[in-house]
Amino acid sequence: MKSLEVTLRALRESGRKALVPYFMAGVTPNWTQHVAAAVHGGADAVEVGIPFSDPMMDGVIIQKAAELSLAAGTTIDSICAELAASDLGAPLIVMTYYNLFHHYGLRRASGRLAQSGVSGAIVPDLTLEESEEWRAACDENDIATIFLVAPSTTPERFARLARATEGFCYASARMAVTGRAQGAGDATRVVDAVRATSDVPTYVGIGISSPEQARDATEHSDGVIVGSALVDTILTGASPADTEVFIASFRRAIDK
């Protein structure tokens, strides 16, 4: 079992619901301070977005963040260098599109990520069927490969994806790209479908933008992922202190 999954299973056993915020790396010069503030505010793990020119699974907020980050010259190497130089105090999971790793070289990319303290990766356009080489590269470097399931996922695919995913299973609550839909949607049904075949921790994302939605979603899952709502505050000028307050409000709602 990958280190990330050991950590996240232990978290569940301690009775704590996981709160996982998403940050776009390089969106502001002080982005790692936002990450540190989120951990201080109660985040259990952090998703670090690596910007890609064509984010097919992302709505306008994360598209905009990616554009800003790319304009500032962000690369896999620059992100890894910044992560390696920071002690952020929570598991780090990168999220990006397959072309960046394909272009960098799969073994080289997973090795570089691991050296920088990353322990998981979400690649939303990499299907289970096409993932063999990437998973092999991640196996060499103790990087968990996290798969998404969606409301449209068929029973047969739920079983295969829940078996293949490592660390946690990312349950999309909605049939939508990031930042476009609000509310728990089909989260309960999707989480149940994963649990029917696996005891891997299951976190709900896509549609979680308020503390109340996060609380509702964790009543029937092991955690939540908060992306666009948080990125939006940073795009409109939030400071790391604001981020800590934002995350703390989600923490309180979830822990109630």
Partner 1 sequence: MSQPPVFMGAPSSTGRFGDFGGRFVPEALMPACLELEAAFIDAWSDPVFIDEYHSVLHEFAGRSTPVTYLGRFSKLFGVEVYAKREDLAHTGSHKINNVVGQTLLTRRMGKTRVIAETGAGQHGVATATAAARLGLACTVYMGELDTHRQELNVFRMELLGSTVVPVTSGSKTLKDAVNEAMREWVSCVEDTHYCLGSVMGPHPFPWMVREFQSIIGREAEEQLTARGVGVPDVVVACVGGGSNAAGIFAGFANSSARLVGVEAAGGAAVSNGSPGVLHGMKSMLIQSEHGQIEEAHSISAGLDYPGIGPEHAFLAASGRAEYVGIGDEDVLVALQTLSQLEGIIPALESAHAVAWIMQEAGKAIPRGSTVLLNLSGRGDKDVAQVLDILRGRE
> For partner 1, what does the binding mask look like between residues 61 and 100, x meaning CB under 8 A?
--x---x--x----xx--------------------xxxx
54 binds partner 1 (CB under 8 A): yes
**Is the CB of 63 or the CB of 221 nearer to partner 1?**
63
Distance CA 213, CA 108 (A): 39
The secondary structure of residue 154, as a DSSP letter, is -
Please answer whether residues 75 and 37 qualify as being in contact, where contact means their C-beta atoms are separated by less than 8 angstroms: no
- The distance of closest approach from Cβ of residue 251 to partner 1 in the complex, given in angstroms and rounded to an integer, is 29
CB burial of 73-90 (b: ≥16 within 10 Å; e: otherwise) equals ebbbeebbebbeeeebeb
Which residues, 108 to 137, sit near partner 1 by CB under 8 A? 124-130
Taking contact as CB under 8 A, which single stretch among the options 19-27, 102-110, 233-241, 247-255 is the one that binds partner 1? 102-110
Among 86, 104, 139, 245, interactor with partner 1 by CB under 8 A: 104
Q: Is 8 exposed, middle or buried (0-12, 13-18, 19+ CB in 10 A)?
A: buried
Which residues, 213 to 252, sit near partner 1 by CB under 8 A? none
- The distance of closest approach from Cβ of residue 28 to partner 1 in the complex, given in angstroms and rounded to an integer, is 20
175 binds partner 1 (CB under 8 A): yes
Q: Which residues are catalytic?
A: 47, 58
Among 16, 157, 210, 239, interactor with partner 1 by CB under 8 A: 157
Among 33, 59, 114, 210, interactor with partner 1 by CB under 8 A: 59
> Which H or E element spans position 39?
helix 31-40
175 CB-near residues (< 8 Å, 6+ apart):
150, 151, 152, 181, 185, 186
Which of these, 235, 236, 146, 224, lies nearest to 191 by C-alpha position? 224
Distance CA 46, CA 247 (A): 11
Among 159, 176, 235, 245, interactor with partner 1 by CB under 8 A: 176
- Residue ranges in contact with partner 1 by CB under 8 A: 52-60, 63, 67, 70, 75-76, 97-100, 102-104, 124-130, 147-154, 157, 161, 172, 174-177, 180-181
